[in-house]
Amino acid sequence: MCKGVLKTEDPITKASLLFTFVFKLPESYTDVRSLRSLLTDASPNHSLSARFEVASQIARSVCNVRSFGFVHKNLSPETILVLGNQNTSIGAAYLVGFDRFRTTQGNTARLGDSNWERNLYRHPRRQGASPEDIYIMQHDIYSLGICLLELGLWQSFVEYRALDGLPLRSAALRLQDGTPEMQYPTALKDHLVALARTALPQRMGTKYTEVVQTCLTCLDRENVDFGDEREFQDADGILVGVRYIEKVLMQLSLISV
């Protein structure tokens, strides 16, 4: 629960330097874990219905960020908190990690990094120290797709070494050193799409698989799941990303177990 926002200004110019979000943990929840932490649990004790609900909560959170005209830019299992108690099988998912977010119309410096565990959740054209494309809403949708893929498989693509916390590629990613998927961002994206297509249906069903594939291919010209892009813009020019995520939410809401 967000209790407020603190603005820090330059003492001389009075220009805004940063905004600090203050959150309060709801009293009804006693257990707080990141989605990453949950995914490393080798013996999950929850129903498929609970997993679908968490997926819907994450997608809804991203939709809310979009509805207020922002892009998150940092979506991963590390920035998703799951709050639970003795009455919940998994818990309620909340989006955090707003250290990179900005308005959709705000300026972007196109600054990135070469950390593989972060690039894993970035669209191919947003990877590396100098991303090719400016950040748009569909890039958040792509990141959402990878999070939903991990959630559906209930496997973490990243593991942290106990000795020093170094992020390591997990076996769940099904990749070896030196393969094209580890060298070329587009090849990695294609691998993730194929992984969703082959491994998700038997675990989460066809509809969920289609949602994940749609997210991962949302910037592909071949993506025809949502028809003409003009269909998702109203007279005021609302960005396609807002309606796009709504369509993802609609599809998730149709899933029942």
Range of the domain at 112: 28-253
Tens-digit pLDDT profile for residues 6-40: 778 878 887 766 777 777 777 777 788 999 999 99
**Structural domains of the chain, count:** 1
* Residue at 12 is within a domain: no
> What is the predicted pLDDT for the residue at 236?
40
pTM: 0.84
* Residue at 205 is within a domain: yes
Query: What are the structure tokens assigned to 110, written together?
Result: 């196109």
Tens-digit pLDDT profile for residues 104-127: 554 555 556 778 899 999 999 888
* Residue at 65 is within a domain: yes
Tens-digit pLDDT profile for residues 183-229: 889 999 999 999 999 999 999 999 999 999 999 998 888 876 654 55
237 band by pLDDT with thresholds 50, 70 and 90:
very low
* Residue at 56 is within a domain: yes
* Residue at 13 is within a domain: no
* Residue at 59 is within a domain: yes
CATH code where residue 100 lies: 1.10.510.10
By C-alpha distance, which of 115, 43, 54, 119 is closest to 88? 54
> What is the predicted pLDDT for the residue at 234?
47
- The answer to whether 146 and 120 are in contact (CB under 8 A) is yes
Q: How far is CA 190 from CA 4, 43, 193, 216, 233, in A?
A: 41, 29, 5, 9, 28
The pLDDT > 70 percentage for the chain reads 83
* Residue at 22 is within a domain: no
Q: How far is CA 35 from CA 6, 96, 99, 100, in A?
A: 27, 11, 18, 19
* Residue at 104 is within a domain: yes
Tell me the average pLDDT of the chain: 83
